[in-house]
Structure 1
């Protein structure tokens, strides 16, 4: 396997651990709450703290990547994931909260560092590699969502949660070996193309600054809608279709699983020279199908959920492919990615709470779904401008 192929394998093993530890908790949060005597507020913190970390820690994570380089930053990120899973499973409330915060910090560093590696080492294949990165994160989410409950039934929730750390240990070892062969960034004195490809100024310039602003709006809509629907979709299905908890959870599962198709389908479509604007418009339309469909034709919920699942994976890929391809330097790509993630995840951290408050105030799910529809409409408008021909 060529060095770039081994680096890609290592990168995808890292990606497998950038969402899986977070989605392993919700299926057994009831057991964790009962065992630790958590209040509802404390149980909520275990699921919301990582997203808050994404928002608050992305700027320092970006500075860390700039100072140490993405190779060392990824090592720190995966080490944080390993340690966080172990601490979270220690069996006390302080350990659960501390481990969750450690997980959030490690994943935040990975969120920033991995796109930098893609922009630097896989620029000519950035769409395909970004799609594979996004798809692998969703595969990790699906694995832990599906298997944590049976593992907990066999060995208890502590071992079930901590056991997923094996994936992170494998990623740590493989990344450590793969990154040894990666050439260090060129110095600031490197001439033209080499400087742009490897180092360069972190200044965005006016066109990149405008693109970054548009993608901030788009990612805020994307991430807010994703976390809001992840939190409340089973409850919406229960209210609209009268399903029990188990059936509603099963029906909601394609929202995560179908993201793999979107993550891989977008780069495949772009490779066939389909304009990114058309791809973005199609993805936005599929995303809008979920809130609109649940308002107008909830009986066809499976179709709307599957379409939105494809869309949420595809739109993530479009946004970060645009950053990788259009940034004038790796440093500018890192900075743009950090700004987009900081603002996007700050909005996403509040989205489930806001949606829940709207439901409590109105006594139904019509206004919350209209709210998601509005968010996605704003997202689609920003993406339409960002992908306009000639921009």
Structure 2
């Protein structure tokens, strides 16, 4: 009988007792080999360092303003079309719903067009939506354009982490840091277009011949068009670049174990959903909360800037923390607790009212935004964990397509229920109390998702058990 060289040093008794042990070692080695093969050296597909840097930067900057720019002018838009707060809840829920539905389709679209091609198409759709939305004549057409905007963003949301994993090589953490940082910057500067064009004033702006709210939404088409051009150049360089599925241990066929079989993936999905719900509630309803508490419209817009702007800091810090830390669970759970505390502070501000705080009311509002902003570090954390908790780019793409779409279903419910709650209840305290509870749930889901287990390894264990 001829034995494998790898088993020559083992005693016959041990080989007889544990025949599957060497097989497990062989499978693990095959998985490591497939990971090394999947991680192409930087530029292997023609994406040089400068092009990759610019592509990630312009993409990240454009994945939030089309959504966050609506919040400060939402009241004006609802008044313009003569609709209720429930319609506002629907408008603010559209991004989450589109991210859920189109996020499921993003991976098949990416498999069809390639990662770069699908992202390029997403930005083309984004340009179309931003360009058309300010000029429509009904709330339903306005909602339709918002769907186009959210749909284009959804492709980038899901596929960019996989693109970075595919083309980043040893620079993956740096590109992911750039991505999450500028994602936060885009969310922060989006609402500021309302200040730039004086969105609180509904008189037309003479230069453009548009109402202020129209200009506040339209201004972002320039940045979106620039992103579409850059990604057309990326696509011309890479062409088809969707990664192949990792092979099975015996190399006979790809491994396709459902993502829900990974406990890490399930908790990441729940964490992503809860933090996205909080983020879109804040982007859509934070100015309204503040103004209902008696805070001026200018300060209300700045609270959104502070909340989203702190996401930049989290974007800088958290990818490196995730890459280096061995004790992530307490850190990530703290973000959920801070979110609950921030809403508690907002609840106090509404209960006392701006008049009750006198000249300090604006400062109190900004402190509320500061606490919520640090709690919002859960967003760049959830994004950065997608490539950090997967080895193979194909698994990264599947994980992103699992975590984000299903998570956004939960996220979509938040802004919509806030609008319905305000319509039905007529006051903020019960609604904000529910958001506090959701903050505690986010802390628990964050703790569980930071177990440190790689999704690839959990899926491989399931595949090994089947064989």
Fold shared by both chains (TM-score > 0.5): yes
CA–CA distance in structure 2, aligned partners of residues 233 and 190 of structure 1: 44
User: 1:376, CA displacement in angstroms?
Assistant: 1.9
Q: Does 1:310 align with 2:374?
A: yes
What residue in structure 2 maps to residue 164 of structure 1? 220
Per-residue deviation, 1:213: 0.8
Is 1:114 equivalent to 2:160 in the alignment? Answer: yes
Asked if 1:294 corresponds to 2:357, the answer is no
Following superposition, the deviation at residue 116 of structure 1 comes to 1.4
RMSD: 3.4
Contact 1:123 1:324 in 2 (8 A): no
* Pair 1:322-2:388 in alignment: no
Q: Which runs of 5+ in 2 are unaligned?
A: 1-42, 200-204, 351-356, 358-363, 455-467
Q: Kindly indicate whether residue 387 of structure 2 is the aligned counterpart of residue 387 of structure 1.
A: no
Match in the other structure for 2:190: 144
Report the counterpart of residue 16 of structure 2 in structure 1.
Answer: none
Deviation at 1:218, TM superposition (A): 0.9
Looking at structure 2, the residues matched to 201 and 279 of structure 1 have their Cα atoms a distance apart, in angstroms, of 33
Against the structure 1 CA distance between its residues 59 and 143, is the aligned structure 2 distance closer, same or farther, given a 3 Å change threshold?
A: same
* Change beyond 3 A, Cα 1:337–1:317: same
Shift of the 243–54 alpha-carbon distance from structure 1 to 2, 3 Å rule, reads same
How far apart, CA to CA, are the structure 2 residues paired with 1:365 and 1:372? 11
Aligned to 2:232: 176
Aligned length: 383
Is 2:306 the partner of 1:243?
Answer: no
Q: Structure 1 residues 147 and 358, CA, compared in 2 at 3 Å: closer, same or farther?
A: closer
* Aligned-partner Cα distance in 1 for 2:405–2:257: 17
- The equivalent of 2:175 in structure 1 is 129
Would the alpha carbon gap of residues 200 and 80 (structure 1) be closer, same or farther in structure 2, given more than 3 Å must change? farther
| Unpaired segments ≥5 residues, structure 1 | none
After superposition, the C-alpha distances for 1:138-191 in whole angstroms (9 at most, x for unaligned) are 322333311245347452244553342111221122222234444854875998
Higher relative helix content: 1
Q: Tell me if structure 1 keeps the 8 A contact 2:245–2:395.
A: no
Deviation at 1:78, TM superposition (A): 0.5
2:451 counterpart SS class: coil
Alpha-carbon distance change, 142 to 46 in structure 1, aligned in 2, over 3 angstroms? same
Which residue pairs with 2:336 in the alignment?
A: 284
Alpha-carbon distance in structure 1 between the residues aligned to 2:236 and 2:304: 42
Name the CA shift for 1:144/1:383 in 2 (closer, same or farther; >3 Å): closer
- Cα distance in structure 1, aligned partners of 2:219 and 2:243: 42
Which residue pairs with 2:311 in the alignment?
259
**Matched-pair contact (CA < 8 Å) for 1:50–1:104:** yes
Aligned equivalent of 1:232: 285
Provide the C-alpha distance between the structure 1 equivalents of 2:218 and 2:292, rounded to a whole number of angstroms.
34
Partner residue in 1 for 2:145: 99
SS in 2 for 1:122: helix
Q: TM-score, normalised to structure 1's length?
A: 0.84
